[in-house]
Amino acid sequence: MAKTYDILIVGAGTSGMACAITAAERGLCVGVIEKSDIIGGALHWAGGHMSAGGTRLQKRKGIEDSEEKHLEDIYRINGKSGNLALTEIAVKEAPKTIDWLEDIGFEFAPECTRIIYGHIAYETARHHYGSEKAMSSYKVLEPLWKKFEASGHIECHLNTKMSGLGRTGNRFDYVLCQNERGTQEIHGKHIVLTTGGYGSNPEFFGKKHPGIPLVSSCYPTATADAHQILEENGGVFHMGQYHLPSLGGIEKEVGDGLCNFNEAWAMVMTSVYRQPREIYVNANGHRFMAEDEPDAEAREHAVMQQPNWYFWAVYEATARVRKDENGNHNPVIIGWSNEAIAEEAERGQSLVKADTLEGLSEKINVPKETLTETVASYNTMVDKGEDPSFHRKYLKDSISTGPFYALKIHASVLVTFGGMKVNDKLQLVAQNGNVMEGLYAAGEIIGLGATSGSSFCSGMAITPALSFGRILGRSLS
Ligand SMILES: Cc1cc2nc3c(=O)[nH]c(=O)nc-3n(C[C@H](O)[C@H](O)[C@H](O)COP(=O)(O)OP(=O)(O)OC[C@H]3O[C@@H](n4cnc5c(N)ncnc54)[C@H](O)[C@@H]3O)c2cc1C
């Protein structure tokens, strides 16, 4: 007789780890299937911003906040476009999740909590994070994971990939999976799918978002395995229409469709942090927005109107070396020194350099006359201190002295908004409206749209992934 786990979790990432640890704390026997050779999932790459209202840290810092205020703020940002029941549960659970992280040793960065402006900003300082991005969370989860592995409450099957689902009668009660020993069935009383999103599967993304270019910054394991298996079994994919990209992706190798947020990311999500010394031109060589627009979502929508959702940031060498008026170095690529920029320009992939604008236009395949005219018109605006086309206010630097640079920046995918439909108990729901007995989901598999709606509500991926994992870990038995 095959072993049956109390809870069988697929995916040992953000949500799966929280679920497994919480269930193991109750003495349950938890099986985990993980296709990778490590646990942690997207925590290895993510920025680690977690939003919550009414945490102990906020109280200690004298920041007045509450679940109600957080919820109101989310509704202001996304116009109540998310799943309201799930958003409410996520927001209510959020301070408990953050306090729990603190209880298990999480160290907040000293400046926390803060308002972060990378997306439409909250009105209150409710971003919580550690000094090692999302690895700060991983580092407090991992010792507990190891402790429960040692006690036998968590059994993790690494390098084991879910390839199907099986049921007895109406109830899904086993997972088909593949590893070096071949295909096997692993059984669970409850099956929790925490496999992440789908931004690293170009084919699946293309089917769900026809015509939208995919340049991905998602964690490489986000390949929609469970989405496809669920759809084969009657599950419902929804909220794809909420798709929003993030600005700043730079392909290290042009055309490979990959941008690594931690290796090369342009500081163009909002101008709150950095005033632009460059202009943005589209594939035809035209400007299309005020480069100093502070509203992150307005910027994203402006780029979504451009061919293939990318643009060139064009600037002159002095903009590269000059500090801003606050004395900050602040180059267009986050964390890159001028030396690194110079090296990359020599490589001539996403960053190119030429002595003349004509030479630059050839390298970036933009019509010569259009680019020179766009730059000349911008220089006139700098002289006059006025941008009649897009009303850019920051007009301090002309682009007149070579060498000139162009950096190709993509509206890229960090998190996927579409996902598999669940009810407010996190049970998967089928096309016919019935629950898929025995199956639950948490984390990005349910779609960022569930808790963030059609806008980016900052920090509303990691906190809900942890919270929903914990809710399932303490409620299933
Ligand atoms: C660069 C970057 C920055 C981000 N920054 C933030 C941020 O600051 N704040 C925020 O809230 N969100 C952020 N996010 C989003 C957030 O990190 C993710 O949405 C969240 O961590 C996903 O958690 P998860 O548990 O759903 O998936 P993951 O943590 O990715 O875990 C999924 C796990 O499932 C495994 N798996 C997948 N398929 C299978 C299969 N077939 N069989 C077995 N195992 C499988 C994977 O290997 C992985 O270990 C960021 C994302 C990225 C990529």
- Does 43 have pLDDT greater than 90? yes
Q: What is the pLDDT of residue 329?
A: 65
Least confident residue range of 299-308, 317-326, 368-377, 417-426: 317-326
**Which run of H or of E encompasses 24?**
helix 14-25
Q: Per the structure block, which two tokens stand in for 460?
A: 């509303």
Least confident residue range of 37-41, 152-156, 331-335: 331-335
Q: What is the pLDDT of residue 283?
A: 97
Domain with CATH 3.50.50.60 in the chain: 4-198+415-475
What is the signed CA dihedral for 131, 137, 142, 144, rounded to 10 degrees?
120
Ligand 1 surroundings by CB, under 6 angstroms: 10-16, 33-36, 41-43, 45-49, 161-162, 194-196, 217-219, 221-222, 225, 261, 414-415, 443-445, 459-462, 465
Confidence of residue 446 (pLDDT cuts 50, 70, 90): very high
Nearest CA to ligand 1 atom 27: 196
Angstrom distance (rounded) from CA 252 to CA 348:
10
Cα(320) to ligand 1 centroid in Å equals 34
Q: What is the pLDDT of residue 339?
A: 85
Q: What is the pLDDT of residue 473?
A: 98
- Mean predicted confidence (pLDDT) in 147-155: 98
- Determine the 3-state secondary structure of 365 from DSSP: coil
CB-CB contact of 444 with 416 (8 Å): yes
Cα(219) to ligand 1 centroid in Å equals 6
Kindly write down the DSSP assignment for every residue of 232-277, as one continuous string.
HTTB-EE-GGG---EEEE-BSSTTS-BB-TTT-BBS-S-SSS---S
- Mean predicted confidence (pLDDT) in 188-192: 98
- For residue 182, the Cα-to-chain-centroid distance in whole angstroms is 33
Full-model pTM: 0.97
Domain with CATH 3.90.700.10 in the chain: 246-412
- Mean predicted confidence (pLDDT) in 210-229: 97
Per-residue burial over 290-318, b = 16 or more CB atoms within 10 Å of its CB, e = otherwise: bbbbebbbebbebbeebeebbbbbbbbbe
Cα(13) to ligand 1 centroid in Å equals 6
- Does 322 have pLDDT greater than 80? no
Cα(445) to ligand 1 centroid in Å equals 9
Please state, for a pLDDT cut of 90, what percent of the chain lies above it.
91
- Mean predicted confidence (pLDDT) in 6-24: 98
Closest ligand 1 atom number to CA of residue 463? 11
Please state, for a pLDDT cut of 70, what percent of the chain lies above it.
97
- Mean predicted confidence (pLDDT) in 54-72: 98
HEC assignment per residue over 110-175: CCCCECCCCCCCCCCCCEECECCCCHHHHHHHHHHHHHHHHCCCEEEECCCEEEEEEEECCEEEEE
CB-CB contact of 285 with 309 (8 Å): no
Cα(253) to ligand 1 centroid in Å equals 24
Nearest CA to ligand 1 atom 1: 46
- Does 295 have pLDDT greater than 90? yes
Closest to 223 (Cα-Cα) out of 405, 67, 444: 444
Closest ligand 1 atom number to CA of residue 199? 53
Cα(415) to ligand 1 centroid in Å equals 8
What is the number of H-type helices and E-type strands within the chain?
Answer: 14, 17
Confidence of residue 370 (pLDDT cuts 50, 70, 90): very high
- Does 321 have pLDDT greater than 70? no
Closest ligand 1 atom number to CA of residue 36? 47
- Does 375 have pLDDT greater than 80? yes
CB-CB contact of 129 with 67 (8 Å): no
Cα(45) to ligand 1 centroid in Å equals 9
Closest ligand 1 atom number to CA of residue 459? 11
Closest ligand 1 atom number to CA of residue 33? 43
Confidence of residue 320 (pLDDT cuts 50, 70, 90): low
Closest to 438 (Cα-Cα) out of 230, 196, 227: 230
Exposed/middle/buried for 379, CB within 10 Å: 0-12, 13-18, 19+? middle
The predicted-structure confidence for 98-137, as pLDDT tens digits, reads as follows 999 999 999 999 999 999 998 999 999 999 999 999 999 9
Q: What angle do CA 230, 232, 235 make, to 5 degrees?
A: 40
Q: For residue 210, how many other CB atoms are within 10 A of its CB?
A: 8
Long-range contacts of 208-213 (CB under 8 A, 24+ apart): 208/237, 208/240, 208/418, 209/240, 209/243, 209/418, 212/243, 212/309, 213/308, 213/309, 213/310, 213/410
Angstrom distance (rounded) from CA 350 to CA 131:
30
Q: Which of 8, 9, 14 to mutate to test the pocket of ligand 1 (most atoms within 8 A of CB)?
A: 14
Confidence of residue 328 (pLDDT cuts 50, 70, 90): low
- Mean predicted confidence (pLDDT) in 23-32: 98
Q: Which of 221, 334, 413 to mutate to test the pocket of ligand 1 (most atoms within 8 A of CB)?
A: 221
Closest ligand 1 atom number to CA of residue 460? 11
Q: Which of 21, 32, 35 to mutate to test the pocket of ligand 1 (most atoms within 8 A of CB)?
A: 35
Class level of CATH domain 246-412: alpha beta
- Does 477 have pLDDT greater than 90? no
Query: Domain 4-198+415-475 belongs to what topology?
Result: FAD/NAD(P)-binding domain (3.50.50)
Pairing of strands 4-10, 30-33: parallel
- Mean confidence (pLDDT) of the chain: 96
